[in-house]
């Protein structure tokens, strides 16, 4: 992947907020993180109380600005300490409100240099965005941070401060704020690497678990197709593991090219692959059979492989009010169907349609008069 495509992929990555939160919860890290984020708000509230009525703080004793700052920090701490982790929309709103409040509060400080330096707190909200949200959300925050730094630096000069000092503060804070996208890009690269299979460059099992819920949220019909290469151990034993790796890479390339841009393609095990795509129940079997044939197409070398294929499909267009299966249920059903195909001799497609039959959700008409 070249630099241009890497940057485009980073910029377009929506980031699965729910998956990140669930991953942290599974590692028992969500609770301590909530405490830390709430404590940060409490510390800001204490700082606001300490500088209230001093020559540094906002005018008044304590003054409206100081009161709002202390109250906001206290509410922030209570929200994070006492309530569940926010959903994606609330998370973005909380950070947006914090950004605006920081800048407004800094503009109220009587010591203009101290106010400009206070924008360093915007790095805290930027760090949160870097981890939990997309590059586009961070870009909006970075633009706001740079604008805040410029306004507060100009305020130093309009208050009689040294122009060179204002310029130095602006350059210092703007350079720090501008580094946030670079940190997010590095984190994104590491996260992407952890979700990818190094041999085939497809998603790995964890990457599939990350992307499949996103695909299901966008599509009324979802089809999961599991592939297991038949008698692959014989390939390794006969030709060697290096040739086996070539076959795996070839299979990955064929599936990726044939599945299309809307599909999610992953290598979930040694010789196991998964394709998930927005395919209707009516088209699921024919698509799986087409991909099965793609895998078995004659190669440039003498090594020919076939695949046992299991399909799990759910189509909300057929049953709009039926409960949708979970990603795990789809994967388990497709995997079980794949094993039935293998037990039947391989090079075969077995379909498990999870959509309830029509008579299950459309009761027969009442002919009574």
Q: Which residues are catalytically annotated? A: 271
- Enter the tokens of residue 247: 């076959």
- Enter the tokens of residue 140: 């909006």
User: CA 197, CA 256: separation in Å to the nearest integer?
Assistant: 13
Which DSSP helix (H) or strand (E) runs through 349?
strand 349-353
- Enter the tokens of residue 334: 């497709």
CB 20 within 8 A of CB 29: no
Q: Where would I find the beta strands (DSSP E) of 126-269?
A: 221-229, 264-267
User: CA 331, CA 276: separation in Å to the nearest integer?
Assistant: 9
The torsion angles phi and psi of 32, rounded to 5 degrees, stand at -60, -35
Burial 218-232 (b: 16+ CB within 10 A, else e): ebebbbbbbbbbbeb
- Enter the tokens of residue 199: 């041999």
Residue listed under structure tokens 């360093």: 120
User: CA 153, CA 171: separation in Å to the nearest integer?
Assistant: 9
Helices (H), the chain: 3-12, 17-26, 30-51, 64-82, 88-108, 112-117, 122-132, 135-158, 163-194, 205-218, 232-239, 241-259, 281-296, 327-343, 358-361
Residue listed under structure tokens 């010591």: 111
User: CA 257, CA 247: separation in Å to the nearest integer?
Assistant: 15
User: CA 234, CA 145: separation in Å to the nearest integer?
Assistant: 60
CB 199 within 8 A of CB 249: yes
């Amino acid at each position: 992947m070249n630099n241009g495509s890497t940057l485009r992929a980073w910029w377009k990555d929506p980031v699965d907020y729910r998956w990140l939160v669930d991953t942290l919860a599974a590692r028992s890290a969500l609770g301590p993180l909530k405490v830390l984020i709430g404590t940060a708000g409490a510390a800001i509230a204490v700082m606001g109380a300490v500088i209230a009525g001093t020559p540094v703080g906002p005018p008044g004793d304590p003054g409206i600005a100081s009161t709002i700052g202390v109250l906001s920090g206290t509410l922030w701490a209570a929200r994070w300490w006492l309530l569940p982790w926010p959903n994606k929309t609330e998370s973005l709103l909380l950070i947006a409100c914090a950004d605006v409040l920081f800048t407004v509060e800094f503009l109220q400080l009587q010591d203009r240099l101290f106010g400009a330096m206070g924008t360093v707190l915007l790095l805290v909200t930027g760090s949160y965005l870097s981890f939990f949200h997309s590059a586009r959300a961070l870009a909006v925050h970075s633009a706001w941070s740079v604008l805040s730094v410029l306004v507060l630096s100009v305020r130093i000069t309009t208050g009689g401060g040294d122009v060179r000092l204002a310029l130095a503060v602006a350059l210092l804070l703007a350079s720090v704020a501008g580094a946030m996208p670079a940190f997010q890009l590095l984190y994104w690269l590491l996260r992407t690497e952890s979700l990818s299979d190094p041999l085939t460059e497809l998603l790995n099992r964890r990457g599939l678990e990350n992307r499949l819920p996103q695909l299901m949220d966008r599509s009324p019909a979802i089809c999961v197709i599991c592939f297991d290469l038949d008698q692959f151990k014989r390939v390794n034993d006969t030709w060697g593991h290096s040739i086996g790796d070539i076959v795996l890479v070839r299979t990955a390339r064929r599936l990726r090219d044939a599945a299309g841009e809307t599909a999610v393609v992953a290598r979930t095990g040694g010789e196991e692959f998964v394709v998930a795509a927005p395919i209707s129940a009516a088209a699921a079997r024919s698509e799986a059979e087409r991909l099965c044939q793609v895998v078995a197409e004659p190669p440039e070398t003498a090594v020919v492989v076939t695949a046992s294929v299991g399909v799990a499909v759910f189509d909300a267009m057929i049953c709009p009010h039926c409960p949708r299966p979970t990603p795990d249920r789809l994967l388990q059903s497709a995997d079980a169907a794949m094993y039935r195909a293998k037990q039947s001799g391989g090079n075969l497609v077995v379909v498990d349609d999870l959509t309830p039959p029509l008579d299950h959700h459309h009761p027969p008409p009442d002919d009574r008069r």
